[in-house]
Amino acid sequence: MEAANTTRVTVFVLQGLSNNPHIQIVLFVIFLVIYLLTLTGNLLMLLVIRTDSHLHTPMYFFLSQLSFLDAFYSSVIVPKLLENLLSKWKTISFLECFTQIALVIFSGATEACLLSVMAYDRYQAVCHPLLYVVTMNKKVCAGLVGASWAIGMGTGLLNTILLAQQHFCGPNLIRSFACEFPPVLLLTCSDPYISIASILTTMVVLGLGTLVLLLGSYTHIIMTALGINSASGQNKIFSTCSSHFLVVTIFYGSGVFRYMTPASGSGLEQLLSVQYSVVTPLLNPLIYSLKNQEVKAALRRMLARKPRLTF
């Protein structure tokens, strides 16, 4: 009865990264540049993969999905962050906040699935090269991508709906620069048992499930590579998989530190959130473009093409 008589929160206030106007201007410029570079890098990766026939393979099909997802995820977080850095009142509506939470969970879950699918693709290419074309045909690739997106959507909707059912009566200060699950959960006035059980189940089932698939795939890849007598053959395998392995390490490393530590609004937590939400989507296209010889060759071919202009 007491909960029914209290006022329900309709607007949240984001703590942000700093209250100093001068620092806010500097941060605005830095994050704007990072955001523009993120969009440029990921959209350029999409364009190169789309236009270069040499990259029309399962590996780069999955990479194009990852690039699109990184551009999408960055657009969920950064525009609101930029707006708040220039605003005196850093408010966000209840609906907007929970929409952001749903999209953040969706992006993270989908990326975890895509990374495990990419590891499975490399496993098939390295360990079963003669059956690779048959095993990873267009129908299978489309199904794996569709399943990744569906799992992400279901995970995001389920956890967000359960959290939205909680009662929020105040305070309404979110100790972060964005609406994320851990800091918003701290604001609930009702028993958050169901929401906690839901997000923990998601992290255990989805997080550990994709991690096991990743580790299993790379264990077989490494064993196969070590069994090859040719040094050039080993180098080719490791160079092909090194970019993906580095992306996986950054994603899971920053994600574990961000979501497995208690939400407190500390400086370290804010730094981890920035790295996970803002910097990581920029790193992925840079890693794949700088470490992948095929992508670099495709970029050179695209830049070398003469524009066909008619007057």
Q: What pLDDT digit, counting tens, does each position of 146-196 carry? A: 999 999 999 999 999 999 888 888 788 888 888 888 888 888 888 888 988
The model carries a pTM of 0.86
Given a cut of 80, whether residue 254 has pLDDT beyond it is: no
Could you state, in order of their start, the residue ranges of all structural domains in the chain?
A: 11-304
Higher pLDDT: 15 or 141? It is 141
* Per-residue confidence band for 1, with pLDDT thresholds at 50, 70 and 90: very low
Burial zone of 191 (CB within 10 Å; 0-12 exposed, 13-18 middle, 19+ buried): exposed
**Which CATH superfamily groups domain 11-304?**
Rhodopsin 7-helix transmembrane proteins (1.20.1070.10)
Cα separation of 115 and 120, whole Å? 9
**For strand 173-174 and strand 11-14, is the pairing parallel, antiparallel, or unpaired?**
parallel
pLDDT tens per residue, range 208-252 = 888 889 889 888 888 888 887 777 767 777 777 777 778 888 787
DSSP SS3 for 118: helix
Return the sign of the alpha-carbon dihedral for residues 131, 46, 274, 286: positive
CA atoms within 13 A on the CB side of 75: 10
Tens digits of per-residue pLDDT, 93-131?
A: 989 999 999 999 999 999 999 999 999 998 998 888 889
Query: Residue 36 and residue 74: Cα distance in Å, rounded?
Result: 10
Cis status of the peptide bond prior to 182, with omega within 30 of 0: no
Residue range 21-33, pLDDT digits in tens:
888 899 999 999 9
